[in-house]
A and B are shown apart, each in its own frame.
Chain A
Amino acid sequence: MVIAEAGPVLRVQNIRKWYGKHEILKGISLELNKGDIKCVVGPSGSGKSTLLHCINFLVQFDEGRIWMNGEEINYNSKRALYDFRQKVGMIFQDFNLFDHLTALRNVQIALVRVKKLSKSEARRRAMVELERVGMKDHMKKYPAELSGGQKQRVSIARALAMDPEVMLLDEPTSALDPELIGEVHSVIRDLARGGMTMILVTHEFGFAGALAKEILFMEEGVILEQGPPEKILSNAECERTREFCGKINRLHKGTD
């Protein structure tokens, strides 16, 4: 038997999404091989966030197909969706920690309820993940007692505990004070070093450029241009991409 060549971990083909008459995603396709990191940039309202939600089936798209490790996800089967979502970690802009649970139990609960681990095993695993993001000392605190950066780190630990094969990060630092962005970036950098496959939506060009192999520029529901960071961020072919990236770059220079 021939061992199949390792194909993409995640393959997204021709995703379309309408809200009423408005087409939010106009046929988005992308592929991620193991360890790939792709950053999606673009103006707000361009559909970046909707794309991530669609990939995780949190938003039902109207057309398109998704494969994981060569296997197509049958979105009519709830069971298949629940299994798929466990393998795809999602990080939200506004953290979405479970407000009634401590940091530890935020990480623990899905292990117990979804993965059916014993409580003690789940607790052990949760502590490992919290340590990994530097939050072990705060594990007894409730979300209301944590800073934004700490919340986001707990939410990353919560996703990691499920052993995801892909992580989707939806503007993970957009809701943070500038001085808290660094701690979350350093956790994401650690993930990248560990070989995690990721799609990252962000406006932090410097971070994206240093991290990603490929940048996708999205506008009005289409990927206008994609390529290595040095090309897209500073030397894009498409005028619109140049204009947008130029603006963001100037903005960042201005604040430095």
Chain B
Amino acid sequence: MEELLFIRQEVAPALLQGLWVSLLLIVPSAVCGLFIGILSGIIRVYGHPILKRLAGFYVLFFRGFPLLVQLYLWYFGLPYVGIYLSPFTAAFIGFTFCSGAYHSEYVRGALLSIKRGQLLAAQSLGFNKFLAISSIILPQAIRRALPGCGNELIYLIKYSSLAYMVTCIELTGQGKILASLHYKYTEIFFIVGGIYLVLVSIATWMLNRIEDSVRIPGFERPKDFVTT
């Protein structure tokens, strides 16, 4: 009884508050990260050589540096050049660029998997390169990239827990505070982990729905194939 009261009065409000901050971090970084990823993926396949190299460096650094190190640089590093980011902004920017770098790889792979004939056919009809990529190549590539990009979203949900290392108190941060305050690490972190599990399940369900809704013959998911 005492436990339930404790959870209702102390744990739930704090964790809900943390969950809200987590969602505010995850959703915008997911959207912006995907956008950056698609853009840099396209540049890396079809872009001008100089832009291609720049996009390549972007992916190299943001996949190469540990995310925690990136967050430290955004939050603790930038003040040395006179730029002060709030913990939330630093976390948002860190997640967006890191996520974008991974998306970029999925999108690049998907673009490369589209047969060259598709571009040739579009060009032979008078499409310019931009139109051909945006209306012929990209719609196909995105379908192929969806499973990978979805996977990246799942990762993002979980690595958003690093935000509390730059003092942006989201779900894990709230959990940490509660746990050390009441000295109930096991219980609190079980609840916190469970909430992430629920978030991931919801995201997985939504991603499947999206995949279903854009599915067309020739772009099926593997489960549609008979394997025996």
Contact = CB atoms under 8 A, between A and B. Distances in A.
B125 A114 contact: yes
Interface in A75-114: 78, 82-83, 85-86, 88-90, 92, 94, 96-100, 109-110, 113-114
B125 A85 contact: yes
Given A113-B131, A142-B216, A92 B117 contact: yes
B20 interface: no
B16 interface: no
A56 B55 CA distance: 32
Given A53-B120, A58-B124, 7 more contacts: A82-B128, A85-B123, A89-B124, A92-B121, A98-B118, A99-B218, A100-B140
Most buried by A among B126, B128, B143, B218: B126
Nearest to A106: B121
Nearest to A102: B216
A115 B216 CA distance: 26
B222 interface: no
Contacts of B131: 113-114
Chain B interface size, as a band, is 20 to 34
Interface in B70-125: 115, 117-118, 120-125
B13 interface: no
Interface of A: 53, 56, 58, 78, 82-83, 85-86, 88-90, 92, 94, 96-100, 109-110, 113-115, 141-145, 155, 158-159, 162
B139 interface: yes
B136 interface: yes
A99 B118 CA distance: 8
A86 B127 CA distance: 9
Interface in B135-175: 135-136, 139-140, 143
B66 interface: no
B219 interface: yes
Given A92-B117, A113-B131, A100 B219 contact: yes
Contacts of A162: 125-126
Nearest to A162: B125
Contact of B136 (A89, A90, A98): A98
A203 B201 CA distance: 56
Nearest to A87: B126
A86 B123 CA distance: 9
A157 B143 CA distance: 26
B137 to A, nearest CB: 9
Contacts of B121: 90, 92, 96-98, 155
Contacts of B115: 96
11 contacts: A82-B127, A90-B124, A92-B117, A96-B120, A100-B143, A110-B122, A113-B131, A114-B131, A142-B216, A144-B217, A145-B217
A86 B125 contact: yes
Contacts of B127: 82, 110, 113-114
Contacts of A78: 128
A141 B217 CA distance: 9
Interface in B181-228: 216-219
A244 B73 CA distance: 70
A-B residue pairs, 5 tightest by C-beta: A144-B218, A96-B121, A86-B126, A90-B124, A96-B117
B156 to A, nearest CB: 27
Given A58-B124, A86-B126, A109-B135, A100 B117 contact: no
A113 B143 CA distance: 21
Given A98-B136, A113-B131, A85 B217 contact: no
